[in-house]
Structure 1
Amino acid sequence: MGGLGLAGLVAGGGALAGCQDGTTPAAPTGSPEPAAWAALDARLDGRLLRPGDPDYPAASRLFDPAFDDVRPAAVARARSAADVRACVEFARQQDLAITARAGGHSYGGYSSTTGLVVDVTAMATVTPNADGTARIGAGALLVDVYDQLGQAGRALPAGSCPTVGIAGLALGGGIGVLGRRHGLTCDRMLSAEVVLASGEVVRTDASHDPELLWALRGGGGGNVGIVTSFDFATHAATPLVLVSCRWPWAASAEVLAAWQRWISDPGGAPDTFWSTCVVSSVPSGGVGGTPALRLSGVSCGPADEAGVAAVRAQLDALADAAGQQPISVSVVPREHRRAMLIEAGCAGLEVAACHPRDRAPGGTLPRVAQRAASAFLREPLSTGGVATMLAAIERRQRTAGARSGAIILDSWGGEINRVAPADTAFVHRSTIASAQYVAGYDIRDPPAAKAANEAWLRATVAAMAPHVSSSAYQNYIDPELSDWARAYYGDNLGRLRQAKRVYDPDNLFRFAQGITPA
């Protein structure tokens, strides 16, 4: 559940498709009677919404309208761990599929089900503490996390997309613009309150159920329980320097090569400087036009005059290495909270407006339809890899009627890679960048256009496969990925399956890409 995509950071929402022995777990078959639903409703402090309720349509929808045809039997708007416990016990007793939802950004639609959806968005309190920690409800959206922590002068390294939920993001890792300096969101997780498949409510930390905490720190959302709140270690919300550069498309190969050296070489970009290099097609209404190359960055080093000058010097060195000056450069210091709103695509908006238009009063942000996949780069792409990437974007630019498509390269390294792969469930600790392939479309597009969009995405993934690692980011979850369990979890997969056996031995929490017990 959580990441930086064309529309921002997207939550993965995780689960496994087959048992260890290759069999498929039996799907839940329960169909509760009306009296059973009424009994559950009576147990809840929050509302239980069923088809026919006027609030059900909005409550049943995910961020991506592609999943609007998934009709939950009910959506429970949980207000407490006791509500979640009641839902878990009900699902187990009724043999009913169950899944949790916060932001609802899963690329695979895994935060919905035809059974019972436990919506935790009402549990969204953000409480900064004097010791620098913060307790954050599992339903808090990133825009509110940044806003409420920022008011206390604190911050948390997390994603950019404002409507992603903190739970899905943290459970799947959590890359963001402060990652190179402060690590992943999951690295900052100190404890969590979790409702287990048994219905037991536990608070896990380094001294209590430490193996559960290990699994929650990057083991994918929805695998070992439903989290209701987290404690995180925060850091000071210092001013940031925002960077944006555009280069001519003709210089793309040289700029990409120089950028990869810059983020990976010891003498290149400092850990305080995160950046993303995006190559994208530009819809032109027909065939033609020129794709775009853009570099965006955030420096969490000094934001005074000397700090801004140092950032400009870094960009000058990058341009010199590429042998091509950018068309435009913007280097602007901003107060932390405002900088994160800008990174969220909410420049000029206040916090209330930077919410989903159909789920929050005053919200203005639309839902987005897109398909995506990912890979990690453990070393810079070869000349052939860069050429393959650029050819894919040019091919989409030449396709009549195609909507925007992009390959997004986010810089990793720094503090992220100082954590050993086995210290948390998040195993991807030796990468220099992630690659996200994104194909946008309109839900109203005809079937042929949607098929062509998917075909471009899959052809791009296949063409790039020889040039990237076989691993993938679980928060950019991909329903079409083969050997996905190994791609997401690598050498940590066996230990995760052991944790699943301890905390959910009967595999109550299961869906298409969820971990099965060892």
Structure 2
Amino acid sequence: MAAAAAGTLPSGTAAATVDSTAWTGLRSRLRGTLVLPEDREYGAAKALFDRRFDGNAPLGVVEVAQPQDVQAAVSFAREHGLPIAARAGGHSFVGASASTGALVIDVRGLDHIKVDADQVTVGAGVTSLAAVTELAESGAALPIGVCAGVGLTGLTVGGGLGAEARRYGMTCDRLVAAELVLPNGDVIRTDATTAPDLFWALRGAGGTTGILTSLTYRTIPATAKDMVRLTFPGDTAARVLNGWAQWMPSADRGVHASVRISAADGLRCAVRMVCPAGAGAAAAADLAAAAGIEPSAAEHRTLAHLDAVHDLDMGRPRPGSINVAGSDVVAQLSPTVVNTIVDVITARADSGASGVVVVEPLDGAIQDTALDATAFPWRAHAAALEWAVLSPGGVDEAHNWIISANRAVAPFSSGGYLNHVQPTDTVQRCFAHNFPRLQFLRQTTDPDRRLRWGING
């Protein structure tokens, strides 16, 4: 095969080229497949969920068939001075798992799921939906996000906010052990007592320390849910969000509610609730009372656990779509903060453009874990804000609007949520007080900054 040249490498890493003999050597060490730019399968192998990144040009893609393939690929990259990127779900909002100039290590072939009493061990390529579908057969579950198609690994290492988080903590809070390959090629098994610094980082710091091959979680019960959607007049959005901010921290931990305010043919406001079966009507009434306004429409359904997972996933972006997103995290939702958020969306609606903010709670069991126990830094905060533009007319314009939203709430924002990373995010913005410890750990495990994980700095 023809030689393939490396692209732009991390700061401090010398440029390198890899000749055809070396690639052939790597291919011989794999049980899986190596796909290079000249191969017919290259376009499909590097494709991510979002077609914005179809133009990215990784040096090659290793589609692993066993954990040893990960070690072989990482060692090869180290030997040749190449950056590396992990690909599992492929949902990164910045296309990190198809980074130009990197060797992509695709772990989707590591898709085993083994249930053992109240624990489950999964391969790093398993999706959230695959995991909860398998677990449902034994009456168990995991707290996952609302988009069930994402990779469970990426969701976990970024934190993992979702409908069960107020009751059971985030996805990362259920992690009890993991196996990964460090950038130097070493294989490590980590838990609370073995390599605890790595275990700390895997719960909220993304792919900063290595490439995961398996994860073990403590499960939760799979239970039926009341699914409630309340629609309010757009001009009452501030009243609804203020009421939500007052009511949510005192609501039963089994109740999850998020507020969605959108610019789409005017201003719209809706609340989605996931509650224990039979509790939806009372929770909806409590929120309406706190807001001082009745919804203009209400939908109530009771669903089995797995049906509820699918219901939450309905309407989410599909593969090949474009979704430009970003985030802020706020310590409190005072009326001033609420008015600022609503003003941002109102101005967007007045301009005739589309955009949305989804406000998610950060209270309940999320705050039961000590602030320094994991890399996730936002356990003393009230809410995470996800700004998004779905199917934008122009990607740059959508990014610019989200940056303007960040600026508008900057006086009240503490930073950003890693799983909603945006191109302008930095390590400092996403990790706040955990930044120094994370930087020290990165210097120890990846001093040459070979890992591409989507964050600047």
Same-fold call, TM > 0.5?
Answer: yes
Among 361, 369, 386, the residue aligned to 2:322 = 369
Q: Distance in 1 between matches of 2:179 and 2:378?
A: 25
Among 377, 380, 388, the residue aligned to 1:430 = 380
Amino acid at match of 1:454: H
Q: Distance in 1 between matches of 2:83 and 2:396?
A: 30
Helix, strand or coil at the partner of 2:387 = strand
Aligned partner of 1:350 in structure 2 is: none
Aligned partner of 1:349 in structure 2 is: none
Deviations 1:197-223 (A, max 9, x none): 2211121122321221112111222x1
Q: Is the 8 A contact 2:329 2:413 kept in 1?
A: yes
Amino acid at match of 1:473: Y
Among 327, 332, 335, the residue aligned to 2:296 = 327
Helix, strand or coil at the partner of 2:405 = helix
Q: Distance in 2 between matches of 1:246 and 1:87?
A: 50
Among 248, 266, 281, the residue aligned to 2:263 = 281
Among 174, 183, 186, the residue aligned to 2:169 = 183
Q: Distance in 2 between matches of 1:77 and 1:148?
A: 24
Amino acid at match of 1:186: C
Among 107, 131, 137, the residue aligned to 1:151 = 137
Deviations 1:342-384 (A, max 9, x none): 11117xxxxxxx9x9xxxxxxxx432212222111211232x3
Unaligned residue ranges in structure 2 (runs of 5+): 1-9
Aligned partner of 1:474 in structure 2 is: 418
Q: Is the 8 A contact 1:127 1:134 kept in 2?
A: yes
Deviations 1:404-450 (A, max 9, x none): 310110112100001111111112111121111112334xx4xxx44
186-195 or 315-324, which deviates more: 315-324
Amino acid at match of 2:270: R
Q: Is the 8 A contact 1:242 1:331 kept in 2?
A: yes
Is the alpha carbon distance of 1:279 and 1:224 closer, same or farther for their aligned partners in structure 2, counting shifts above 3 Å? Answer: same
Helix, strand or coil at the partner of 1:181 = helix
Q: Distance in 1 between matches of 2:218 and 2:160?
A: 14
Among 36, 39, 42, the residue aligned to 1:50 = 36
Aligned partner of 1:351 in structure 2 is: none
Q: Is the 8 A contact 2:95 2:454 kept in 1?
A: no
Aligned partner of 2:219 in structure 1 is: 234
Cα RMSD of the aligned pairs, angstroms, is: 2.0
Cα shift at 1:102? 0.6
Among 260, 263, 268, the residue aligned to 1:292 = 268
Q: Distance in 2 between matches of 1:512 and 1:295?
A: 31
Aligned partner of 1:19 in structure 2 is: none
Helix, strand or coil at the partner of 2:17 = coil
Is the alpha carbon distance of 1:68 and 1:344 closer, same or farther for their aligned partners in structure 2, counting shifts above 3 Å? Answer: same
Deviations 1:278-311 (A, max 9, x none): 00111xxxxxx32210100111x3x2xxxx2x43
Deviations 1:135-159 (A, max 9, x none): 0111111111121111221101111
289-298 or 504-513, which deviates more: 504-513
Aligned partner of 2:348 in structure 1 is: 396
Q: Is the 8 A contact 2:113 2:121 kept in 1?
A: yes
Aligned partner of 2:7 in structure 1 is: none
Aligned partner of 1:500 in structure 2 is: 442
Is the alpha carbon distance of 1:275 and 1:81 closer, same or farther for their aligned partners in structure 2, counting shifts above 3 Å? Answer: same
Q: Distance in 2 between matches of 1:30 and 1:430?
A: 45
Cα shift at 1:28? 5.0
Question: Is 1:248 aligned with 2:233?
Answer: yes
Q: Distance in 1 between matches of 2:430 and 2:409?
A: 18
Among 174, 195, 207, the residue aligned to 2:160 = 174
Helix, strand or coil at the partner of 1:502 = helix
Cα shift at 1:193? 0.6
Q: Is the 8 A contact 1:142 1:160 kept in 2?
A: no
Is the alpha carbon distance of 1:312 and 1:511 closer, same or farther for their aligned partners in structure 2, counting shifts above 3 Å? Answer: closer
TM-score, length of structure 2 as denominator length = 0.93
Paired residues, number: 448
Cα shift at 1:510? 4.4
Mapping for residues 210-225 of structure 1, pairs under 5 Å: 210-221=196-207, 223-225=208-210
Q: Is the 8 A contact 2:93 2:421 kept in 1?
A: yes
Question: Is 1:262 aligned with 2:247?
Answer: yes
Helix, strand or coil at the partner of 2:170 = coil
Q: Is the 8 A contact 1:142 1:166 kept in 2?
A: yes
Deviations 1:71-92 (A, max 9, x none): 1121110122110001001101
105-114 or 84-93, which deviates more: 105-114
Q: Distance in 1 between matches of 2:454 and 2:107?
A: 21
Cα shift at 1:324? 1.4
Unaligned residue ranges in structure 1 (runs of 5+): 1-23, 283-288, 347-353, 357-364
Q: Which has the higher contact order (CA 8 A, sep 6+)?
A: 1
Deviations 1:424-483 (A, max 9, x none): 1112111121111112334xx4xxx444333322222211222x32221111112213xx
Aligned partner of 1:121 in structure 2 is: 108
Cα shift at 1:511? 5.6
Amino acid at match of 1:324: I
Cα shift at 1:514? 6.0
Q: Is the 8 A contact 2:88 2:153 kept in 1?
A: yes
TM-score, length of structure 1 as denominator length = 0.83
Deviations 1:287-344 (A, max 9, x none): xx32210100111x3x2xxxx2x43122112212222110111222111111101111
Is the alpha carbon distance of 1:393 and 1:165 closer, same or farther for their aligned partners in structure 2, counting shifts above 3 Å? Answer: same
Amino acid at match of 1:480: T
Q: Is the 8 A contact 2:263 2:349 kept in 1?
A: yes
Amino acid at match of 2:372: A
Aligned partner of 2:184 in structure 1 is: 198
Amino acid at match of 1:322: A
Is the alpha carbon distance of 1:408 and 1:256 closer, same or farther for their aligned partners in structure 2, counting shifts above 3 Å? Answer: same
